[in-house]
């Protein structure tokens, strides 16, 4: 039964095309298994639609809803202006066939689906929004398209579904500087490069808003254009009047589209399970259909597996995808069954292994169980430390659950297999499991690691966690650990999970790992990254494990004394700040500080960020500090606050009670360029630049009788740039051991080296770094705090003197645009899926593309050094402890300091060879001392 649309009703209008394009760009090019039909955009679209429907609960839920699509490419706007949207790129080939399917998907979710030949979706949305408003109801437009901001107001709002941000009249003001009713005026002037709306040349949104606010509306402005003071602006408006008026017609949405339906037709309906399931099954969306089926309480459709198709008569070698069946996993309870699994692993030559533990810190947690998988769909779980009773018993029991073997017995059987050189052990993130097993006396080898394979194959395309990989490459959503453990305060540890449940979760992980391995292994060759995986990834993992387990000694007393000193200084500064402000406030709150500075004290230069708050970053405060004491004190306070909370306080909590040392964790797949990341704690950002901060390094000490040594590559990225871009002048300077920044300065500013001043040198230094980062006039200007034009002059001069750099940058960008990835000298691929994007993403991607081969090659070189290091120093009483991108830190017995420096330096300086012979020497500087501050 239909009800009328009126007061109390809430209409949702979804911009269908926006959903589709977001889905298309967010997902890899998935295809339907049975016939290879491109299906990624449909999958993403359905996920978004589903997530949207799920979110529709509570008082704000819509009563009416529709998804609106564009139909055809010719609209009445093309009749007015044949270049309208003319610079749009053609729809990607693999997206076109998915268009009708997105309509089917919408109908399958039982949501009204509307489009009209000759009108854009925006016009239909405009018409419906106005109808809803006139009927006294509300309307939410789910889109972030600024073209629709003209509709906001009077009960109409927009919602950016991805950012989950509502856009109301204030939001429109923020974007356009005018209210919704004047948005078209501003757009008419500013034009729109995306839609190819011409506007007035040389006038952007800022200027347009200024003019409209001054003259009231576009027509008045154009009529009175002769009154404008700026001659250029005045002439532009007079000369381009017709074009501006046309632009307004183009951006003005048609609120009277002749619709063949009414608001009443859009009433929200529950999905009909059968229709929805049929569609999802047809698309072969296993994960989604299962998830939705579970939620609405129906049976998930059975989706047949693809027949293994033979290509060119040859047998298909793609592993056949068996369905995931948690009931098929085995709970291993006795020695006989375990020995059977062990024997099968040995016979097969490989086995996927996963360990379950009581937590995340591999230096602390206990082993709870082990899982094995040898065939897809077949896996077992061997529990060793599950406790009795969990759910019903608040404290749990300390008694062991039934059906388990002892850890000792299990490892007695598995150790020979895990250490068997002829059996490959496959892990997802082997470093974690191997460290656990090492603590139980098992040295696992040889290994493969699906996480590292994914990193070698897909860096830049996706993250490399198991859940993400399973969804992306197996279309299977694994059981979430949270469903077993809960979250927050009430979370339990894995040893409290009932074994029946643990079997399903844990064994599935081993199953997934095995399937991913089968999928990725042939890919390594096809993508030509086998060498990267085998020489830069796999062998590094055990080296990192070793470093992490060794840890670095940190002196708690030193830190604690510093904490106290910082606290005192901060208290003093805080009192001063409150005094200067004339009121008490939270100095640590940027929001409160902004109000004090710019509202209460009325200082100039307050800029609001996108959340409407004033920006109070260090650069802002530094500018203010020249005139005022308060911002200067805040800067001091902030520095101390950072040092105290992040370093002197937090670091103490990371001292392992058993070892008295700090054990960081390196994330080998953390940075797309090949760099490592360090977490828990991050030991790659210990302060060094400020005197006060550097003292924190005094707390990193050597054991008595030992010394810390630090070796770091000198200007490694610039050397690599000189080599890759083949800049003879730079290369020669490095060969001659010259001061490279001074030499650059001399070349650029025609200053003889003897007469070089620190100021000129430091400018050249900034430019040298800028080049590595993908230089821009704006960025350099900000860095050097000089006018933009001046910065641009420097850059131009730099390119004149070193034309090879410009060539390198252009070639690298072109390569990236063609191949969608860039490469290091050692063959590491860093994917750049955004490189051909339009809009603001483009700049980011192209600078990242310029930087990645340089940063990545440097990362590869130090990796090679680290991999060779254990063998090189094995006869020395020395341990490698830390890596900080271009620096390695060792702890060594006092007697062997010089020997270790000599050996480690040789390894580091020769690390590129023999794979690559650089045209420039690599130079390593060394330091030593009782603590890191002295050694660095």
DSSP code of residue 302: P
Give the one residue of 685, 757, 762, 895 binding DNA; rule: CB under 7 A: 685
Using the contact rule CB under 7 A, the part of the chain among 152-160, 493-501, 551-559, 611-619 near DNA is 611-619
CB of residue 462 to DNA, shortest distance in Å: 12
Are 668 and 544 a contacting pair, CB within 8 Å?
yes
Query: Would you say 733 or 850 has its CB closer to DNA?
Result: 850
Contact positions with DNA (CB under 7 A) in 78-97: none
Query: Would you say 316 or 618 has its CB closer to DNA?
Result: 618
Give the one residue of 12, 476, 638, 864 binding DNA; rule: CB under 7 A: 638
Quote the CA–CA distance of 87 and 718 in Å, as a whole number: 39
CB of residue 859 to DNA, shortest distance in Å: 10
Query: In this structure, what token pair is assigned to residue 326?
Result: 């948690």
CB of residue 620 to DNA, shortest distance in Å: 7
Give the strand pairing for 330-331 and 924-929. Answer: unpaired
Contacts of 747 (CB under 8 A, 6+ apart): 729, 801, 802
Query: Would you say 337 or 797 has its CB closer to DNA?
Result: 797
Quote the CA–CA distance of 399 and 393 in Å, as a whole number: 12
Give the one residue of 143, 462, 470, 616 binding DNA; rule: CB under 7 A: 616
CB of residue 236 to DNA, shortest distance in Å: 9
CB of residue 888 to DNA, shortest distance in Å: 11
CB of residue 481 to DNA, shortest distance in Å: 13
Give the strand pairing for 64-68 and 112-114. Answer: parallel
Give the one residue of 57, 226, 490, 611 binding DNA; rule: CB under 7 A: 611
End-to-end CA distance of the chain: 78
Contacts of 245 (CB under 8 A, 6+ apart): 188, 222
Query: Would you say 307 or 843 has its CB closer to DNA?
Result: 843
Query: In this structure, what token pair is assigned to residue 651?
Result: 């670091």
Query: Would you say 444 or 849 has its CB closer to DNA?
Result: 849
Query: In this structure, what token pair is assigned to residue 750?
Result: 């025609």
Query: Would you say 39 or 935 has its CB closer to DNA?
Result: 935
Q: Of 481, 469, 480, 479, give the one whose Cα is nearest residue 515.
A: 469
Query: In this structure, what token pair is assigned to residue 707?
Result: 């010394």
Query: Would you say 440 or 799 has its CB closer to DNA?
Result: 799
Give the one residue of 385, 540, 667, 764 binding DNA; rule: CB under 7 A: 667
Using the contact rule CB under 7 A, the part of the chain among 205-213, 262-270, 374-382, 752-760 near DNA is 205-213
Contact positions with DNA (CB under 7 A) in 687-706: 687-690, 693-694
Give the one residue of 61, 83, 316, 650 binding DNA; rule: CB under 7 A: 650
Quote the CA–CA distance of 342 and 10 in Å, as a whole number: 62
Query: In this structure, what token pair is assigned to residue 850?
Result: 């310029």
Give the strand pairing for 10-15 and 138-142. Answer: parallel
CB of residue 782 to DNA, shortest distance in Å: 6
Contacts of 749 (CB under 8 A, 6+ apart): 760, 764, 797
CB of residue 563 to DNA, shortest distance in Å: 11
CB of residue 384 to DNA, shortest distance in Å: 30
CB of residue 936 to DNA, shortest distance in Å: 8
Quote the CA–CA distance of 901 and 630 in Å, as a whole number: 48
Give the one residue of 95, 848, 892, 920 binding DNA; rule: CB under 7 A: 848
Query: Would you say 689 or 917 has its CB closer to DNA?
Result: 689
CB of residue 693 to DNA, shortest distance in Å: 5
DSSP code of residue 570: H
Give the one residue of 106, 143, 450, 678 binding DNA; rule: CB under 7 A: 678
Query: In this structure, what token pair is assigned to residue 666?
Result: 């390196």
CB of residue 24 to DNA, shortest distance in Å: 22
Kindly report the backbone phi and psi dihedral angles of residue 113, in degrees, each rounded to the nearest multiple of 5, phi listed first: -135, 115
Query: Would you say 58 or 313 has its CB closer to DNA?
Result: 58
Contact positions with DNA (CB under 7 A) in 214-253: 230, 232
Query: Would you say 230 or 626 has its CB closer to DNA?
Result: 230
Quote the CA–CA distance of 528 and 522 in Å, as a whole number: 10
Using the contact rule CB under 7 A, the part of the chain among 105-113, 133-141, 604-612, 925-933 near DNA is 604-612
Contact positions with DNA (CB under 7 A) in 710-749: none
CB of residue 808 to DNA, shortest distance in Å: 15
Contact positions with DNA (CB under 7 A) in 787-846: 840, 843-844
Contacts of 133 (CB under 8 A, 6+ apart): 139, 154, 155, 156
How far CA 552 is from CA of 32, 458, 543, 641, 876, in Å, comes to 51, 33, 15, 24, 18
DSSP code of residue 7: T
Are 208 and 182 a contacting pair, CB within 8 Å?
no
Using the contact rule CB under 7 A, the part of the chain among 87-95, 339-347, 390-398, 678-686 near DNA is 678-686
Q: Does 468 bind DNA (CB under 7 A)?
A: no
CB of residue 455 to DNA, shortest distance in Å: 11
Give the one residue of 107, 173, 550, 613 binding DNA; rule: CB under 7 A: 613
From the DSSP assignment, how many helices (H) and strands (E) are in the chain?
38, 23
Across 128-283, the runs of DSSP E, i.e. the strands, are 138-142, 156-160, 165-167
Radius of gyration of the CA atoms of the chain, in A = 32
Query: Would you say 140 or 289 has its CB closer to DNA?
Result: 140
Contact positions with DNA (CB under 7 A) in 851-870: 851-852, 855
Quote the CA–CA distance of 465 and 469 in Å, as a whole number: 6
Size of site (CB under 7 A) for DNA: 83
Give the one residue of 255, 680, 698, 739 binding DNA; rule: CB under 7 A: 680
CB of residue 468 to DNA, shortest distance in Å: 15
Quote the CA–CA distance of 461 and 428 in Å, as a whole number: 18
Query: Would you say 176 or 381 has its CB closer to DNA?
Result: 176
Contact positions with DNA (CB under 7 A) in 567-596: 586, 588-592
User: What x-and-dash track marks residues 884-913 binding DNA by CB under 7 A?
Assistant: xxxx--------------------------
Contact positions with DNA (CB under 7 A) in 168-197: 190, 193
Query: In this structure, what token pair is assigned to residue 315?
Result: 């047998």
Kindly report the backbone phi and psi dihedral angles of residue 377, in degrees, each rounded to the nearest multiple of 5, phi listed first: 85, -10
Query: Would you say 422 or 611 has its CB closer to DNA?
Result: 611
Q: Does 929 bind DNA (CB under 7 A)?
A: no
Are 188 and 218 a contacting pair, CB within 8 Å?
yes
Are 6 and 136 a contacting pair, CB within 8 Å?
yes
For residue 623, whether the previous peptide bond is cis, meaning omega lies within 30 degrees of 0, is: no
Query: In this structure, what token pair is assigned to residue 622?
Result: 């530094």
Query: Would you say 189 or 869 has its CB closer to DNA?
Result: 189
Are 891 and 878 a contacting pair, CB within 8 Å?
yes
Contact positions with DNA (CB under 7 A) in 752-781: 766-767, 769-770, 773-780
Contact positions with DNA (CB under 7 A) in 395-414: none
Contact positions with DNA (CB under 7 A) in 42-81: none
CB of residue 394 to DNA, shortest distance in Å: 24
DSSP code of residue 599: I
Across 254-366, the runs of DSSP E, i.e. the strands, are 330-331, 350-357
Query: Would you say 262 or 679 has its CB closer to DNA?
Result: 679
Q: Does 675 bind DNA (CB under 7 A)?
A: yes
Quote the CA–CA distance of 856 and 721 in Å, as a whole number: 11
* Range 360-366, long-range pairs (CB < 8 A, 24+ positions): 361/680, 362/432, 362/435, 362/436, 362/548, 362/665, 363/435, 363/548, 363/549, 363/551, 363/656, 363/658, 363/659, 363/663, 364/656, 365/436, 366/495
Using the contact rule CB under 7 A, the part of the chain among 3-11, 417-425, 683-691, 730-738 near DNA is 683-691
């Amino acid at each position: 039964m239909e009800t009328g649309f009126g007061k109390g009703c809430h209409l949702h209008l979804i911009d269908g095309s926006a959903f589709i394009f977001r889905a298309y760009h967010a997902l890899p090019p998935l295809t339907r298994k049975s016939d290879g039909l491109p299906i990624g955009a449909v999958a993403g679209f359905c996920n978004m639609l589903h997530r949207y429907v799920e979110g529709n609960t509570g008082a704000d839920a819509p009563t009416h809803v529709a998804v609106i699509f564009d139909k055809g490419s010719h609209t009445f706007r093309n009749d007015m202006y044949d270049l309208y949207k003319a610079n749009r790129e053609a729809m990607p080939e693999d997206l076109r066939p998915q268009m009708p399917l997105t309509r089917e998907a919408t109908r399958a979710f039982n949501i009204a689906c509307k489009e009209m030949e000759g009108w854009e979706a925006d016009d239909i949305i405009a018409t419906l929004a106005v109808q809803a408003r006139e009927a006294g109801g509300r309307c939410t437009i789910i889109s972030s398209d600024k073209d629709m901001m003209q509709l906001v107001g009077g009960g109409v709002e927009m919602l950016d579904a991805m950012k989950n941000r509502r856009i109301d009249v204030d939001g429109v003001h923020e974007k356009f500087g005018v209210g919704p009713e004047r948005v078209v005026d501003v757009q008419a002037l500013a034009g729109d490069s995306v839609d190819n709306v011409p506007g007035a040349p040389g006038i952007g949104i800022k200027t347009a808003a200024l003019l409209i606010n001054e003259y009231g509306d576009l027509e008045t402005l154009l009529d009175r254009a002769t009154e404008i003071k700026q001659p250029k602006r005045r002439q532009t408006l007079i000369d381009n009047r017709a074009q501006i008026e046309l632009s307004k017609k183009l951006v003005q949405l048609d609120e009277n589209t002749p619709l063949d339906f009414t608001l009443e037709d859009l009433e929200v309906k529950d999905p009909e399970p059968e229709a929805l399931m049929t569609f999802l099954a047809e698309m072969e969306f296993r994960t989604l259909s299962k998830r939705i089926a579970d939620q609405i309480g129906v049976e998930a459709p059975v989706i047949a597996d693809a027949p293994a198709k033979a290509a060119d008569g040859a047998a298909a070698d793609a592993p056949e995808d068996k369905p995931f069946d948690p009931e098929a996993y085995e709970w291993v309870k006795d020695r006989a069954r375990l020995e059977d699994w062990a024997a099968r692993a040995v016979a097969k030559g490989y086995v996927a292994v996963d360990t379950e533990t009581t937590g995340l810190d591999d230096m602390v947690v206990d082993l709870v169980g082990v899982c094995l998988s040898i065939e897809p769909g077949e896996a077992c779980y061997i529990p060793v430390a599950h406790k009795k009773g969990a759910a019903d018993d608040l404290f749990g029991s300390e008694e062991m659950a039934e059906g388990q073997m002892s850890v000792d017995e299990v490892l007695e059987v598995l150790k020979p297999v895990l250490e068997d050189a002829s059996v490959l052990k496959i892990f997802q993130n082997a470093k974690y499991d191997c460290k656990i097993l090492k603590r139980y006396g098992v040295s696992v080898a040889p290994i493969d690691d699906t996480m590292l394979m994914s990193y070698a194959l897909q860096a830049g395309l996706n993250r490399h966690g198991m859940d993400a990989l399973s969804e992306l490459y197996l279309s299977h959503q694994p059981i979430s650990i949270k469903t077993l453990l809960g979250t927050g305060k009430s979370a339990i540890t894995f040893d409290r999970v009932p074994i029946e449940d643990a079997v399903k979760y844990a064994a599935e992980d081993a199953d997934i790992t095995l399937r991913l391995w089968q999928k990725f292994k042939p890919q390594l060759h096809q993508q030509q990254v086998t060498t990267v995986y085998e020489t830069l990834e796999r062998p590094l993992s055990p080296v990192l494990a070793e470093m992490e387990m060794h840890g670095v000694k940190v002196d708690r007393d030193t830190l604690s004394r510093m904490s106290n000193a910082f606290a005192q200084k901060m208290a003093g500064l805080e009192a001063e700040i409150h005094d200067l402000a004339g009121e008490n406030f939270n100095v640590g709150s940027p929001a409160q500080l902004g109000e004090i500075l710019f509202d209460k004290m009325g200082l100039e230069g307050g800029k609001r960020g996108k959340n409407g708050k004033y920006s109070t970053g260090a650069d802002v405060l530094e500018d203010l500090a020249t005139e005022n004491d308060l911002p200067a004190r805040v800067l001091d306070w902030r520095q101390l606050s950072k040092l105290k909370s992040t370093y002197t306080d937090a670091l103490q909590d990371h001292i392992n009670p058993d070892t008295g040392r700090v054990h960081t964790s390196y994330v080998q797949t953390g940075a797309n360029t090949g760099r490592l990341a360090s977490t828990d704690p991050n030991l790659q950002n210990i302060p060094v630049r400020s005197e006060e901060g550097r003292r924190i390094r005094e707390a990193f000490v050597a054991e008595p009788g030992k010394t810390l040594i630090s070796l770091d590559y000198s200007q490694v990225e610039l050397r690599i740039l000189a080599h890759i871009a083949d800049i003879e002048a730079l290369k020669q300077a490095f060969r001659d051991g010259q001061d490279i920044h001074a030499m650059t300065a001399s070349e650029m500013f025609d200053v003889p080296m003897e007469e070089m001043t620190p100021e000129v040198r430091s400018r050249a230094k900034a430019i040298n770094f800028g080049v590595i980062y993908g230089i821009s006039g704006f960025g350099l200007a900000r860095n050097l705090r000089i006018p933009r034009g001046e910065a641009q002059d420097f850059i131009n001069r730099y390119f004149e003197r070193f034309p090879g750099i410009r060539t390198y940058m252009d070639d690298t960008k072109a390569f990236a645009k063609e191949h969608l990835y860039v490469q290091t000298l050692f063959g590491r691929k860093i994917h750049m899926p955004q490189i051909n994007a339009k809009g603001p993403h483009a700049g980011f991607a192209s600078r990242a593309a310029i930087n990645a081969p340089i940063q990545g090659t440097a990362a590869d070189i130090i990796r090679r050094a680290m991999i060779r290091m254990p063998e090189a120093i094995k006869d020395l009483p020395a341990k490698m402890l830390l890596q900080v991108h271009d620096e390695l830190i060792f702890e060594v017995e006092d007697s062997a300091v010089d020997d270790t420096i000599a050996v480690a330096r040789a390894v580091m300086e020769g690390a590129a060879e023999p794979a690559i012979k650089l045209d420039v020497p690599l130079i390593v500087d060394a330091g030593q001392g009782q603590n890191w501050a002295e050694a660095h």
